[in-house]
Amino acid sequence: MKPGAAEWYVRHAEAYLKTFEGRRLATHTAVEVEAWLAERGRIGRLQSWQFCQMVEAVRLLLQLAHAPAEAAVDWDYWREAGRELPATHPTLARSLAPKPPAGEVEGGKGVDALRGQVVAVIRQRNYSIRTEEAYCGWLDRFARFLKGADPRAAGAVEVKAFLQDLAVQGRVAASTQNQALNALVFLYDKVLERPLGALGSFARAKRPQPLPVVLSRDEVVRLLGRMDGVHGMMAALLYGTGMRLMECVRLRVKDLDFEYRQIVVRDGKGQKDRVVPMPARLVDGLQAHLAKVRGLHQEDLARGAGAVFLPDALERKYPAAPREWGWQYVFAASRLSADPRGGVVRRHHLHESSLQKAVHRAAREASLSKPVSCHALRHSFATHVLEAGYDIRTVQELLGHSDVSTTMIYTHVLNRGGRGVVSPLDRVG
């Protein structure tokens, strides 16, 4: 423990004990512990690290006292879901106004101003914040390649030379070179309105064809068996629906349709909506989870909070919507936090890194040798659905792929043993 931190752990423990003055720790229930943490989580000025310190102090107190409640509380959820969303988080950053030019940067005069134009056009088209960051990064890198020349004065010749340099000198992957190409085509076509035209031939980075990491059904059972609580439910949803990580994290209450046993995935990759099946075995758990979230929301409302972030200026159009139950996040954070853009205290969704950590930890505990990630659960969903006999077009729609060729990669599992060839070793008597 860091020097000086012990004093604060003691203070948090004493504050907890004072709330239950006169009662033995052995009689405390998990519901009471979580209610106390939820109450502290409503302190909007509390920083993320302070809240996590408070959670750990209570856990240590109960552990030292051998209180039964210590084993019943989902500490990972309270510790990890208490993280604040930074201003650059994909959920929030898309609504940020473009920053004005702040002067000159390495790479030449006026690059900041040009970057501001790129950001403005990207946000007008509602592209993701990660696309924005990548395209701005490639603009800066291209400006450095030009050694001080203004990118506005460059054209197809310079872009072609830059892409070739990436492949030959930089030895980048094909996907990296393609991203650079897309960024510069966007710059000249959509921002400067001066299309590059045909670039002709240039050195292309080698394109590897890695197969996706797919877990067997037994491995999925072992992985999910090591997870419980909110993170266990989310991991089961990733495998049971094929959703992407951020699609799951951003789910709103109104997106769950228990009547038709389906989930509406809003604003997925490419700004598309789609419908995925709701696993029947998760229905009861989801309804019980929503009951807890609703209780939390009602308590927030009673204290003057209860609002959530709404995308695309919907809050200005529907001022009452942020406090409506349907707009609340299914997987709400364990505490209120100040929106980094304007300081408004809200309950955001939990940070996606908490689920990623939980999946990685469960994979280690289950002794899985494959590089397991949240996206591996999506790959496993697609592969197992194809194995079950569903056609490729159905799987394409469930995954939200624009091109069926992207979905075709999952057919590799149907070509068992190298396109179905029986090894000669298995034929030897």
Establish whether 410 is a catalytic residue: yes
Look up residue 136 and give its DSSP letter: H
Answer whether 85's CB lies under 8 Å from 91's CB.
yes
Establish whether 244 is a catalytic residue: yes
The values of phi and psi at residue 2, to 5°, are -65, 145
Set 79, 297, 347, 401: catalytic member? 401
Set 222, 254, 269, 274: catalytic member? 269
> How does DSSP assign 294-318, residue by residue?
HHHHHHHHHTT------STTHHHH-
Set 250, 346, 378, 384: catalytic member? 378
Set 79, 231, 244, 297: catalytic member? 244
Look up residue 203 and give its DSSP letter: P
Establish whether 401 is a catalytic residue: yes
Q: Compute how many other C-beta atoms are within 10 angstroms of the C-beta atom of residue 270.
A: 10
Token reading at 88: 């650059």
Establish whether 375 is a catalytic residue: yes
Establish whether 378 is a catalytic residue: yes
Taking the C-alpha atoms of residue 359 and residue 248, their distance in angstroms, rounded to an integer, is: 14
Set 141, 360, 375, 412: catalytic member? 375
Taking the C-alpha atoms of residue 252 and residue 247, their distance in angstroms, rounded to an integer, is: 10
Answer whether 355's CB lies under 8 Å from 83's CB.
no
Token reading at 348: 């955001």
Look up residue 140 and give its DSSP letter: H
Exposure string for 333-361, b = 16+ CB within 10 A, e = fewer: bbbbbebbeeeebbbbbbbbebbbebbee
Q: Which residues are catalytic?
A: 244, 269, 375, 378, 401, 410
